[in-house]
């Protein structure tokens, strides 16, 4: 089985392939470094996720009706542009996101929630730098496999501290749900540490690292998918995650607006 979907039509920013019945691969190719914009998320990533779920649920229902639960397997791999080995995602297009006062509430957070509760296993195939919002995108996936950086530098980093951008509540909720050590929270959020793949593996941020290029990282991601995709067949994978990440999901629903540095300083001037 093989199919290809390009989204949006006419100016594709993602390519969704279905190379075998139990596997979908979502390739991100928005510009040179996959900056996460409103159009990229709303017109490409989210419709692609809908297409995957629609296809998988159809297969899973048929499998249940035919009493062949093994045919209800499924997994999704998300990978950066395949013909380069430099970027998975370089995070938000910060200037673009500032134009929309509802960017986090109506665009970015819904994408994070969608993936955090996706009904089949999700694997981030991190084939290059993974910064800020891109790192959050990888964290809401169930598994993370990354290039080891031996042939080309590749870092994971939440670098907002360095350019003065406050975190939305969703980022904090995901960090605390996925990573339990408060010392690591400090290192990620307040120090903006650039993790090498080896460091990130040692800290438990990554599940696997792979020597080689994008094709090698994808091969490892497919191996993970083959091993875990059967756990989607009963239909409870997403339901279990709803409870596993309930506190994070509830926090992400809160419509709390960001306080930027200018607002904070103005309040401090009036107080001091």
The tens digit of pLDDT for each residue in 67-120 reads 998 899 999 999 999 999 999 999 998 888 888 889 999 999 999 999 999 999
Q: How confident is the model at residue 154 (pLDDT cuts 50, 70, 90)?
A: very high
* Distance (Å) of CA 130 to CA 36, 127, 164, 264: 12, 8, 19, 29
Taking all residues of the chain, what is their mean pLDDT, rounded to a whole number?
94
Q: 35-65 pLDDT, tens per residue?
A: 999 999 999 999 999 999 999 999 999 999 9
Question: With 80 as the cut, is the pLDDT of residue 212 above it?
Answer: yes
Other CB atoms within a 10 A radius of the CB of residue 261 amount to 10
- CATH number for 183: 3.90.226.10
Residue 100, helix vs strand vs coil: coil
Kind plus residue range of the DSSP H or E element containing 268: helix 261-271
At residue 2, the pLDDT reads: 75
Distance CA 123, CA 126 (A): 9
Q: Residue 103: CB partners within 8 Å, gap ≥ 6?
A: 38, 97
> What is the count of structural domains for the chain?
1
Beta-strand ranges (E) seen in the chain are 4-7, 14-20, 23-28, 75-79, 87-89, 122-126, 129-131, 143-147, 155-157, 195-196, 208-210
Where in the sequence is the domain holding 76, given as residue range(s)? 4-270
Q: What is the pLDDT of residue 94?
A: 80
Lookup result for tokens 């120090």: 191
Range 119-132 average pLDDT: 98
What lies within 8 Å, CB to CB, of 203 at 6+ separation is 179, 181, 184, 195
Distances (CA, A) of 217 to 27, 97, 120, 155, 214: 13, 30, 20, 15, 5
Closest CA to 194 of 180, 209, 205: 205
**Cβ-based neighbour number of residue 236 at 10 Å:** 12
What distance in Å separates the CA atoms of residue 191 and residue 161, rounded to the nearest whole number? 7
pLDDT of res. 217: 97
Q: Is the pLDDT confidence value at 202 over 80?
A: yes
Q: Is the bond preceding residue 8 a cis peptide, omega within 30 degrees?
A: yes
Percent above pLDDT 70 for the chain: 100
Name the band, by pLDDT with cuts 50, 70 and 90, for residue 1.
low
Full-model pTM = 0.95
Residues 89, 131 contacting (CB under 8 angstroms): yes
Calculate what percentage of the chain has a pLDDT beyond 90.
85
Q: Is the pLDDT of residue 257 over 80?
A: no
Q: Is the pLDDT of residue 124 over 90?
A: yes
Residue 251 clears pLDDT 80, i.e. is over it: yes
């Amino acid at each position: 089985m093989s199919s290809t979907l390009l989204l949006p039509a006419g100016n594709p920013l993602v390519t969704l392939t279905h190379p075998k019945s139990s596997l979908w691969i979502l390739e991100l190719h928005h510009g040179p470094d996959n900056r996460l914009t409103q159009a990229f998320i709303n017109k490409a990533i989210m419709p692609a996720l809908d297409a995957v779920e629609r296809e998988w649920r159809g297969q899973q229902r048929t499998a249940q009706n035919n009493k062949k639960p093994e045919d209800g397997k499924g997994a999704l791999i998300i990978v950066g542009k395949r013909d380069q080995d430099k970027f998975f995602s370089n995070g938000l297009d910060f200037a673009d996101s500032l134009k929309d006062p509802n960017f986090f509430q109506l665009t970015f957070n819904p994408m994070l929630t969608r993936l955090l509760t996706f009904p089949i296993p999700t694997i981030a195939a991190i084939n290059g730098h993974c910064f800020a919002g891109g790192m959050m995108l990888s964290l809401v996936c169930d598994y993370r496999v990354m290039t080891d950086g031996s042939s080309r530098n590749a870092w994971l980093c939440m670098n907002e501290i360095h350019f003065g951008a406050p975190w939305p509540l969703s980022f904090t909720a995901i960090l605390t749900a996925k990573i339990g050590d408060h010392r690591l929270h400090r290192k990620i959020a307040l120090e903006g540490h650039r993790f090498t793949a080896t460091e990130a593996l040692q800290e438990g941020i990554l599940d696997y690292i792979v020597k080689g290029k994008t094709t090698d990282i994808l091969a490892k991601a497919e191996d993970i998918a083959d091993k875990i995709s059967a756990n989607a067949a009963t239909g409870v994978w997403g339901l279990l995650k709803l409870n596993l990440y309930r506190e994070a999901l509830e926090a992400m629903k809160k419509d709390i607006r960001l306080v930027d540095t200018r607002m904070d300083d103005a309040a401090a001037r009036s107080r001091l």
